[in-house]
Structure 1
Amino acid sequence: MLLLVAALVPVLGAWNNLVVHRLPGRPGSYVVANVAATAVLLAAARAAGLSWAELGFDRRRLAAGARWGGACVAVVAAGYGTALAVPVLRPLLGDARAADLDGGELAGQTLVRIPLGTVLWEEVAFRGVLLAALGRLLSRRGATGTSAALFGLWHVRPTLGALAANDLAGGPLARTGAVLLACLGTAAAGVLFAELRLRSGSLLAPALLHLATNSLGLLAAATVHR
């Protein structure tokens, strides 16, 4: 298990920041590459001795995962709905990357790219394989904290891309501060996702929250720009 963790940590640290944006055929290859990486990672985890239950795929826990995740989806949807309904809050949802998406592109993002290319891959990697492998080596708190910290670092390059797309890059100091805050925020989200996974016993719970946050967030951003 130590070998799996030793290999997985640098791979995850580099994948989103150094590898995936250089893949040929991007952005079209993004989903294919991440789905393939998900399959490879699951195969490696099973070969290392992790059970389906440890990975969050216990069918007996699906109902619990749906309950926990469904409640989180309702909270996220209510939050976005409130922000859209209150004029002073609507600008907070804006994202220039959503401004020019037509209906087909928006559907592709919310129904394919985010669920398969982002949520499936990240949940299997961080709350499935990494959390389970760390759980064999560390305490629950240690496994959660380590997986969450790496999840925060995973978002360095995406944050830089978002800042540039929205003309918020600023100077080096401001940019560094924004990236640091974003990484801390996503690390905190990683703790929440991990707790959902562990408390529900199912990967479905954090996956539903992750999906709602990203897909509904994109729809809310597109609504603001329209």
Structure 2
Amino acid sequence: MSDTQRRRRRRPIGTWPAVGLTVAVLVAANLAVHRWTGLFGSFGLVTAVAVSALLLGVLRWAGGTRADAGLAPGTLARGARWALALIGLVAVVYLAGALLPATRTLFEDRRYEGMNGSELTMRVLVLVPVGTVLVEEIAFRGVLYGLVCRARGAAWATTVSSVLFGLWHVLPSLHLATAKPALTTVFGDSALGGALAVLSAVLFTAAAGVLFCELRRRSGSLLAPMGLHWAVNALGYLVGFLLR
């Protein structure tokens, strides 16, 4: 067997078909979790794990490596150090925000009403790291970023990944304006206010995606954006729960 034939066997699909397949899987997963079963159902966790494994398979099918996904063994220690530093930074910022009266209201969320300690623990230690961080980081800063970066470079990879990351948050943002009192004050509770809240969430998460991609690029590891992503979400739940 020639070298050309071996390469074809290892890479049966091209980069852009792999990107299209990845997007199709993410659209189906987004609908499954947010429209059919609810974000925090057990099916959501199963979906997150299955989608993460499937997308890594797509990357491999396109000839990608663990390094393309930001999971090369040699980068994990460096990525872990970045992650710990970023978690500490978010903790300090959130602590300051919780102590200052001017920013304390930003943590208010009606979804915390009736939540108990065990539910909070489940969110912080299971649902956020598995149902949110794992699947989103593997999808957007791992597979999509890795595929596009190989074809067009880091700038294109950051743009594609971040735009799609913003669009990924359309469905979970549909009731955001009414769930958070601080946003209700800004946008109101009308249909227009709800639409503006969704648009703002999409733009904000797209901008956050740019930051996550840059962390991935600078650290060389997916663990860096994973750490920041977990800290922003999980510590936000923790502070909001304690301040309710």
Residues 152 and 185 in structure 1, CA contact (< 8 A), matched pair in contact too: yes
* SS of residue matched to 2:86: helix
Query: Aligned residues: percent identity?
Result: 45
RMSD: 1.7
- 1:125 correspondence with 2:145: no
Q: TM-score, normalised by structure 2?
A: 0.86
Please tell me whether Structure 1 or Structure 2 has the larger radius of gyration of its CA atoms: 2
* SS of residue matched to 2:174: helix
- 1:6 correspondence with 2:20: yes
CA shift at 1:32, angstroms?
1.1
- 1:32 correspondence with 2:51: no
Pick aligned residue for 2:33 from 20, 23, 28: 20
Q: Deviations over 1:84-125 (max 9, x none)?
A: 111232111111112321111111111101011110010000
Which consecutive unaligned segments of at least 5 residues does structure 1 have? none
CA shift at 1:12, angstroms?
2.4
2:166 paired residue number: 152
1:134 paired residue number: 148
CA shift at 1:24, angstroms?
5.0
CA shift at 1:175, angstroms?
1.6
Residues 23 and 29 in structure 1, CA contact (< 8 A), matched pair in contact too: no
Residues 131 and 147 in structure 1, CA contact (< 8 A), matched pair in contact too: yes
Query: How do 1:55-66 and structure 2 match up within 5 A?
Result: 55-66=69-80
Farther off after superposition, 27-36 or 3-12: 3-12
In structure 2, distance between residues paired with 1:150 and 1:24? 22
- 1:221 correspondence with 2:240: yes
1:206 paired residue number: 225
In structure 1, distance between residues paired with 2:44 and 2:99? 34
Q: TM-score, normalised by structure 1?
A: 0.93
Aligned-partner residue type, residue 85 of structure 1: L
Aligned-partner residue type, residue 210 of structure 1: H
Pick aligned residue for 1:87 from 92, 98, 101: 101
CA shift at 1:173, angstroms?
2.0
Query: How do 1:33-52 and structure 2 match up within 5 A?
Result: 33-52=47-66
- Equivalent residues, number: 224
2:3 paired residue number: none
Farther off after superposition, 22-31 or 183-192: 22-31
* SS of residue matched to 2:101: coil
Which consecutive unaligned segments of at least 5 residues does structure 2 have? 1-14
CA shift at 1:214, angstroms?
0.5
